[in-house]
Amino acid sequence: MPRSSATRPTRRQREPLSRERIARAALALIDAEGLEACTMRRLGASLGVEAMALYHHLPTKGDLLDAVMELLLDEMDMPTRAEAPPLQRVRRVMRSYWEIAVRHPRAFILLAARRFNTDRAFRLYEQLLEAFADAGLDAAGSARWFRLIGGFASGAGMAYAASSEAVADATSLRLEHAPDRIPYPHVRAVAPYLRVQNLDAGFEFGMDRLMAQLTLELHGERR
Protein backbone atom coordinates (compact mmCIF):
# COMPACT_ATOMS: atom_id res chain seq x y z
CA MET A 1 0.00 0.00 0.00
CA PRO A 2 2.78 2.50 0.62
CA ARG A 3 4.48 0.80 -2.32
CA SER A 4 1.80 1.76 -4.85
CA SER A 5 2.06 5.43 -4.07
CA ALA A 6 5.84 5.16 -4.06
CA THR A 7 6.34 3.56 -7.45
CA ARG A 8 4.60 6.31 -9.40
CA PRO A 9 4.71 9.61 -7.57
CA THR A 10 2.23 11.24 -9.92
CA ARG A 11 1.91 14.61 -8.32
CA ARG A 12 -1.77 15.25 -8.93
CA GLN A 13 -3.40 12.07 -7.67
CA ARG A 14 -1.77 11.63 -4.25
CA GLU A 15 -3.45 12.53 -0.99
CA PRO A 16 -1.80 15.44 0.83
CA LEU A 17 0.97 14.94 3.35
CA SER A 18 0.27 15.14 7.05
CA ARG A 19 2.19 14.46 10.23
CA GLU A 20 0.33 11.19 10.68
CA ARG A 21 0.69 10.02 7.07
CA ILE A 22 4.41 10.77 7.16
CA ALA A 23 4.78 8.92 10.48
CA ARG A 24 2.98 5.86 9.08
CA ALA A 25 5.28 5.83 6.06
CA ALA A 26 8.27 6.18 8.38
CA LEU A 27 7.18 3.23 10.53
CA ALA A 28 6.60 1.12 7.40
CA LEU A 29 10.08 2.05 6.19
CA ILE A 30 11.65 1.19 9.56
CA ASP A 31 9.80 -2.14 9.74
CA ALA A 32 10.88 -3.03 6.23
CA GLU A 33 14.43 -1.73 6.07
CA GLY A 34 15.52 -0.67 9.54
CA LEU A 35 15.88 2.53 11.49
CA GLU A 36 19.00 3.60 9.62
CA ALA A 37 17.08 3.40 6.33
CA CYS A 38 14.59 5.94 7.60
CA THR A 39 16.21 9.09 6.24
CA MET A 40 14.32 12.21 5.25
CA ARG A 41 15.29 11.67 1.62
CA ARG A 42 14.23 8.04 1.42
CA LEU A 43 11.09 8.71 3.42
CA GLY A 44 10.19 11.51 1.03
CA ALA A 45 10.78 9.21 -1.92
CA SER A 46 8.48 6.55 -0.42
CA LEU A 47 5.78 9.23 -0.31
CA GLY A 48 6.47 10.49 -3.81
CA VAL A 49 7.79 13.78 -2.56
CA GLU A 50 11.10 15.57 -2.11
CA ALA A 51 12.68 15.31 1.35
CA MET A 52 12.26 18.99 1.94
CA ALA A 53 8.47 18.78 1.70
CA LEU A 54 8.47 16.84 4.98
CA TYR A 55 9.78 19.85 6.84
CA HIS A 56 6.49 21.56 6.25
CA HIS A 57 4.81 19.06 8.56
CA LEU A 58 7.60 18.12 10.96
CA PRO A 59 10.16 20.72 12.00
CA THR A 60 12.97 18.22 12.57
CA LYS A 61 13.86 14.58 12.35
CA GLY A 62 13.51 14.26 16.11
CA ASP A 63 9.88 15.27 15.75
CA LEU A 64 9.47 12.60 13.10
CA LEU A 65 10.77 9.97 15.50
CA ASP A 66 8.48 11.29 18.24
CA ALA A 67 5.58 10.90 15.80
CA VAL A 68 6.62 7.29 15.13
CA MET A 69 6.76 6.67 18.89
CA GLU A 70 3.21 7.95 19.22
CA LEU A 71 2.12 5.55 16.51
CA LEU A 72 3.71 2.69 18.43
CA LEU A 73 2.12 3.76 21.69
CA ASP A 74 -1.24 3.84 19.92
CA GLU A 75 -0.92 0.08 19.55
CA MET A 76 -0.78 -0.39 23.28
CA ASP A 77 -3.57 -1.80 25.39
CA MET A 78 -4.83 0.83 27.79
CA PRO A 79 -7.49 -0.92 29.87
CA THR A 80 -9.70 1.31 31.98
CA ARG A 81 -10.73 0.78 35.58
CA ALA A 82 -13.96 -0.84 34.47
CA GLU A 83 -12.28 -3.44 32.31
CA ALA A 84 -10.17 -5.44 34.73
CA PRO A 85 -8.77 -5.53 38.28
CA PRO A 86 -5.62 -3.43 38.83
CA LEU A 87 -2.92 -6.08 38.56
CA GLN A 88 -4.49 -7.51 35.45
CA ARG A 89 -4.44 -4.02 33.95
CA VAL A 90 -0.73 -3.64 34.75
CA ARG A 91 -0.08 -6.97 33.15
CA ARG A 92 -2.04 -6.18 30.01
CA VAL A 93 -0.27 -2.87 29.55
CA MET A 94 3.12 -4.56 29.92
CA ARG A 95 2.16 -7.39 27.66
CA SER A 96 1.15 -4.99 24.92
CA TYR A 97 4.43 -3.09 25.34
CA TRP A 98 6.29 -6.35 24.79
CA GLU A 99 4.17 -7.07 21.75
CA ILE A 100 5.34 -3.84 20.16
CA ALA A 101 8.86 -5.24 20.29
CA VAL A 102 7.62 -8.40 18.58
CA ARG A 103 5.72 -6.55 15.86
CA HIS A 104 8.25 -3.74 15.37
CA PRO A 105 11.66 -5.04 16.44
CA ARG A 106 13.50 -2.43 14.42
CA ALA A 107 11.47 0.47 15.77
CA PHE A 108 11.25 -0.67 19.40
CA ILE A 109 14.54 0.96 20.33
CA LEU A 110 12.84 4.32 19.92
CA LEU A 111 10.64 3.52 22.91
CA ALA A 112 13.54 2.21 24.96
CA ALA A 113 16.01 4.97 24.18
CA ARG A 114 14.08 8.18 23.61
CA ARG A 115 12.43 10.26 26.25
CA PHE A 116 8.67 10.00 26.45
CA ASN A 117 7.66 13.56 25.94
CA THR A 118 4.36 13.43 24.13
CA ASP A 119 0.99 13.82 25.75
CA ARG A 120 0.04 10.34 24.61
CA ALA A 121 2.96 8.87 26.54
CA PHE A 122 1.88 10.66 29.69
CA ARG A 123 -1.65 9.36 29.27
CA LEU A 124 -0.21 5.86 29.14
CA TYR A 125 1.81 6.44 32.30
CA GLU A 126 -1.27 7.81 34.01
CA GLN A 127 -3.30 4.72 33.19
CA LEU A 128 -0.56 2.44 34.43
CA LEU A 129 0.13 4.39 37.61
CA GLU A 130 -3.58 4.51 38.32
CA ALA A 131 -3.58 0.72 38.23
CA PHE A 132 -0.66 0.62 40.69
CA ALA A 133 -2.49 3.00 42.98
CA ASP A 134 -5.69 0.96 42.73
CA ALA A 135 -3.68 -2.11 43.66
CA GLY A 136 -2.76 -0.39 46.90
CA LEU A 137 0.67 1.10 46.28
CA ASP A 138 1.58 4.61 47.40
CA ALA A 139 3.55 6.99 45.18
CA ALA A 140 6.96 5.70 46.27
CA GLY A 141 5.93 2.08 45.82
CA SER A 142 4.36 2.83 42.46
CA ALA A 143 7.59 4.43 41.28
CA ARG A 144 9.64 1.43 42.34
CA TRP A 145 7.35 -1.19 40.91
CA PHE A 146 6.95 0.82 37.76
CA ARG A 147 10.73 0.86 37.36
CA LEU A 148 10.99 -2.83 38.12
CA ILE A 149 8.20 -4.09 35.89
CA GLY A 150 8.74 -1.46 33.23
CA GLY A 151 12.48 -2.00 33.27
CA PHE A 152 11.97 -5.70 32.73
CA ALA A 153 9.48 -5.17 29.88
CA SER A 154 11.81 -2.70 28.23
CA GLY A 155 14.91 -4.85 28.64
CA ALA A 156 13.08 -7.95 27.46
CA GLY A 157 11.80 -6.07 24.43
CA MET A 158 15.30 -4.85 23.60
CA ALA A 159 16.64 -8.37 23.95
CA TYR A 160 13.95 -9.60 21.58
CA ALA A 161 14.69 -6.85 19.10
CA ALA A 162 18.43 -7.47 19.25
CA SER A 163 18.09 -11.20 18.62
CA SER A 164 15.40 -10.77 15.99
CA GLU A 165 16.43 -11.63 12.46
CA ALA A 166 15.15 -8.29 11.25
CA VAL A 167 17.92 -6.35 12.93
CA ALA A 168 21.13 -5.83 11.04
CA ASP A 169 24.51 -5.86 12.74
CA ALA A 170 24.89 -9.60 12.47
CA THR A 171 28.51 -10.57 12.84
CA SER A 172 30.58 -13.74 12.99
CA LEU A 173 29.52 -15.48 16.21
CA ARG A 174 25.81 -15.91 16.68
CA LEU A 175 24.63 -17.21 20.00
CA GLU A 176 21.46 -18.74 18.64
CA HIS A 177 22.76 -20.38 15.51
CA ALA A 178 26.17 -21.78 16.23
CA PRO A 179 26.04 -22.78 19.89
CA ASP A 180 28.33 -25.72 19.22
CA ARG A 181 31.15 -23.35 18.31
CA ILE A 182 30.96 -21.60 21.67
CA PRO A 183 33.78 -22.79 23.95
CA TYR A 184 31.85 -22.06 27.14
CA PRO A 185 29.87 -24.98 28.57
CA HIS A 186 27.20 -23.07 30.48
CA VAL A 187 26.58 -20.72 27.59
CA ARG A 188 26.31 -23.71 25.26
CA ALA A 189 23.81 -25.43 27.57
CA VAL A 190 21.60 -22.39 28.02
CA ALA A 191 21.77 -21.05 24.45
CA PRO A 192 18.91 -23.20 23.08
CA TYR A 193 16.56 -21.77 25.68
CA LEU A 194 17.45 -18.24 24.64
CA ARG A 195 16.35 -18.70 21.04
CA VAL A 196 14.01 -16.08 19.75
CA GLN A 197 11.13 -18.59 19.61
CA ASN A 198 11.35 -19.05 23.38
CA LEU A 199 11.44 -15.38 24.26
CA ASP A 200 7.69 -14.97 24.47
CA ALA A 201 7.41 -17.74 27.04
CA GLY A 202 10.34 -16.12 28.82
CA PHE A 203 8.49 -12.83 28.96
CA GLU A 204 5.45 -14.52 30.50
CA PHE A 205 7.68 -16.31 32.99
CA GLY A 206 9.20 -13.01 34.05
CA MET A 207 5.85 -11.29 34.38
CA ASP A 208 4.54 -14.22 36.43
CA ARG A 209 7.38 -13.88 38.90
CA LEU A 210 7.11 -10.12 39.14
CA MET A 211 3.38 -10.21 39.69
CA ALA A 212 3.80 -12.97 42.26
CA GLN A 213 6.30 -10.90 44.21
CA LEU A 214 4.15 -7.79 43.98
CA THR A 215 1.08 -9.69 45.18
CA LEU A 216 3.08 -11.08 48.09
CA GLU A 217 4.16 -7.60 49.06
CA LEU A 218 0.71 -6.07 48.77
CA HIS A 219 -0.72 -8.71 51.08
CA GLY A 220 1.77 -7.77 53.77
CA GLU A 221 3.83 -10.94 53.79
CA ARG A 222 7.00 -8.85 53.94
CA ARG A 223 7.97 -5.50 55.49
Which residues of the shown chain bind DNA in the complex (CB under 7 A)?
11, 16-17, 38-42, 44, 49-53, 55-57, 60-62
User: What HEC string does 135-178 produce?
Assistant: HCCCHHHHHHHHHHHHHHHHHHHHHHHHHCCCCCCCCCCCCCCC
Identity of the amino acid at 178: A
Which of a copy of itself, DNA, none binds 209 (CB below 5-8 Å, type-dependent)? a copy of itself
Asked whether position 147 contacts a copy of itself by CB under 8 A, the answer is: yes
Query: How is the chain split among helix, strand and coil, in percent rounded to 5?
Result: 70, 0, 30
Are 25 and 43 in contact by the 8 Å Cβ rule? The answer is yes
Going by C-alpha positions, the residue among 68, 20, 21, 12 that lies closest to residue 47 is 21
Asked whether position 130 contacts a copy of itself by CB under 8 A, the answer is: yes
Selected from 165, 187, 218, 220, the binder of a copy of itself by CB under 8 A is 187
Task: Show the DSSP H helices in 104-137 as ranges.
Answer: 108-113, 119-135
Asked whether position 190 contacts a copy of itself by CB under 8 A, the answer is: yes
Which of a copy of itself, DNA, none binds 158 (CB below 5-8 Å, type-dependent)? a copy of itself
Q: How far is the CB of 24 from a copy of itself (least distance, A)?
A: 21
Residues interacting with a copy of itself, by CB under 8 A? Answer: 62, 66, 109, 112-118, 122-123, 125-126, 129-130, 132-133, 139-140, 142-144, 146-148, 150-156, 158-159, 161-163, 169-175, 182-187, 189-190, 192-194, 198-199, 202-203, 205-206, 209-210, 212-213, 217, 222
